[in-house]
Structure 1
């Protein structure tokens, strides 16, 4: 099942951070797209991956999913 998940992310401060988080999320099995909004500290992720897998990928990249 395809769905859209919004993740609040802590620790991003620049475009490099944004690109790192997008790359980490896109590497998760089942993710079809990931768009990070640096101003909102949010990632909108499309696909069938679970929230836990996405949070682990973000943490491995050095950031934190909150909420």
Structure 2
């Protein structure tokens, strides 16, 4: 995918990477076929994000995408 859509993506900054992930995830969520609202479990994670360090948030992102 990065070969056809993201020439040079291997050289973008970490900030740009996080921004792109957020934007892509938001658009994908809006297009998700069930059109479901976030569950209470997902809302609880969001409510507790302030408890995580920067690196823990990155690890959480990795865990969610695998």
TM-score, L = length of structure 2: 0.31
Relative to total residues, which structure has the larger strand share, 1 or 2?
Answer: 1
RCO comparison, higher one (Cα < 8 Å, 6+) = 1
Structure with the largest fraction of helix: 2
